Structure 1
Amino acid sequence: MQTGLTDNDIIQLVRKGDQQAFAQLVTKYQNYVFTIILRYLPSREDAEEVAQDVFVKAYRSLGDFRGESKFSTWLYTITTTTCITFLRKNKLDVQSLDNEKVFAQADNMDGGMRANQVEQKSRVAMVNQAIKMLSPEDAQVITLFYKGEQSLDEIAQVLGQETNAVKVRLHRARQRLKEKMEKYFAQEVKDLAHY
C-alpha cells in the first residue's frame, strides 16, 4: 500500500486500473461516512449496510468525480443521498408526538443517557453524544465543518446555500451544541477545563 498520496493521487491510480488503491480511501473515510450515516439511521446494522453501499457507489462513480471539490465533499453527497434513499425504501416508522408512549420512550432514553455519562469520559464520545442531541440540520453542519473538515464554501456547495448563510447556521449550531454540553455534560466540561 502506498502512503503519502493525496486523495486525487489515489483516485488517479484507481482510474488507471489499480483497484486496490481504493482501499486507502475506504480506510481514510470509513469513520467519516459511518458518522454521517448514524445521523440518519439509528440501527448499527442498517448503518453498516448503507456504508457498504456508499463505498460501492463511490467506486462505481469515481469516473464522474471532477475534482472541483474535495473528495470528502463529493463522498458526503453520496452518503446523504444513499441514506435518504434507504429511508424512503424502508419507510421507517414515524410516531406522532401525541402518542404518550413516544414521550415515555424519550424519557427513558434521556435517563439512559445520564447513566451513560459516567462511562463516557472521553472528549470525543461526549461531543458525539451532544451532537446527537442536536437537530439534524445542526448536526449536519457541525459534522461537515469539524469532522469532515470542510470549508464554509464547500459546505455551502453541498447544502446549496450561500456561504454567509452557512456561516450563520454554523454559529447558531455551535451555540446550541455549547448549550447541550453545559446542560447534559456540565461536570465533564468542568473536568476538562482543569486540564
Structure 2
Amino acid sequence: MHHSDERLIAQFIVTRDERLFTQLYQRYYRKVYASCFRFMKEEEEARDQVQEIFGKVFTRLHTFRGQSSFATWLFVLTRHQCFSARDQAKRYRFFSLDAATNHYDFLQEESSMEDRWIQAQLALHRLPLRDQQLLERRYLGNQSIEQLAIDHGLTQSAVKMRLKRARDQARLLGKGSALCLA
C-alpha cells in the first residue's frame, strides 16, 4: 500500500517505526542524491551528505509542519546541508562560462523530468520570498488570479505582471531549465 508522505510522517512521529522512515528514505534517496551530487560535484561527498541529511531528517522529522510539501522541506534541508558542507570544506570551484554553458547544454538534452523538476525547485528557491510564495500559491496551490489579487490588495493585471516577472526571473536563474509554470 502506498501512503502519502504526510501520512507516513504522522505515523512515524507517533510510532517511531523505522519501517515507515525507510519508506520515505527509499522514496527520496535518488532525488536527494541527485541534488547532493549537483551541489558537491563528487560521488563520495554526495553520498556522505545524503547520509547526513537523512540522519537529520530522522531526528528532525517532528519539526516538519506541513506548510509546504515534504519534498520541498527535504530539498531545503538538502540545499542547506550541502551549502554548509561546501563552506566548511572551503571547496569553491571556478570554471569558465563557456564550460558551464556546454555542461548545461549536455544536461538539458539528457535531463529527465525529475532533473528538470529539481532545477525548477532550485530556481524557485533562489527567488525573493514574495515571488516564491506568489508562484507557489498560483501554480502549486492552484489559486486563481482573482484570489491572489484580493489577498495582495492588487489588481488582477498587477498580479499577472508579478507572476510573469517571477517566472522570467526563475527561468533566468534556472538557466533555461524547463520550468513549466506558464
Q: TM-score range by the shorter chain?
A: 0.5 to 0.7
Q: Which amino acid aligns with 1:44?
A: E
Query: Which residue is 1:168 aligned to?
Result: 168
Is 1:44 aligned with 2:43?
yes
Cα distance in 2 for residues equivalent to 1:175 and 1:94? 19
Q: Which residue of 1 aligns with 2:160?
A: none
Matched, 1:11 2:9: yes
Shift of 1:70: 0.3
Contact 1:54 1:78 in 2 (8 A): yes
Aligned position for 1:77: 76
1:126 to 77, 85, 110: 110
Q: Distance in 2 between matches of 1:156 and 1:94?
A: 22
CA deviation profile, 1:9-47 (whole Å, cap 9, x unmatched):
100121122122101111111111112112211100000
Identity of aligned residues (%): 19
Q: CA RMSD in A?
A: 3.7
What are structure 2's unaligned runs of at least 5 residues? Answer: 135-162
Deviation at 1:170, TM superposition (A): 3.3
Alignment CA distance shift 1:63-1:46 (3 Å): same
Question: 1:144 corresponds to which residue?
Answer: 121
Kept after mapping to 1: 8 A contact 2:49/2:81: yes
Asked whether the 8 Å contact 2:8–2:21 carries over to 1, the reply is yes
Distance in 2 (CA, whole Å) between partners of 1:174 and 1:156 is: 10
Q: Quick check: 36-45 or 169-178, which moved more?
A: 169-178
| Aligned partner of residue 2 in structure 2, secondary structure | coil
Where does structure 1 differ by over 4 angstroms across 4 or more consecutive aligned residues? 155-159
Q: Deviations over 1:130-176 (max 9, x none)?
A: x8xxxxxxx8973428xxxxxx9xx4698624133542223446773
8 Å CA contact retained: 1:142, 1:170 = no
Q: Which residue of 2 aligns with 1:20?
A: 19
SS at match of 1:63: helix
Aligned residue pairs total: 141
- How far apart are the structure 2 equivalents of 1:8 and 1:78? 17
Cα distance in 2 for partners of 1:27, 1:158 equals 30
Q: TM-score, normalised by structure 1?
A: 0.58
Sort the Cα spacing of 1:158 and 1:18 in 2 relative to 1 into closer, same or farther, 3 A.
farther
CA distance in 1, matches of 2:74, 2:125: 15
Segments of structure 1 that go 5 or more residues without pairing to the other structure are: 96-101, 132-138, 146-151, 179-195
1:189 is aligned to none
Matched residue, 2:91: 92
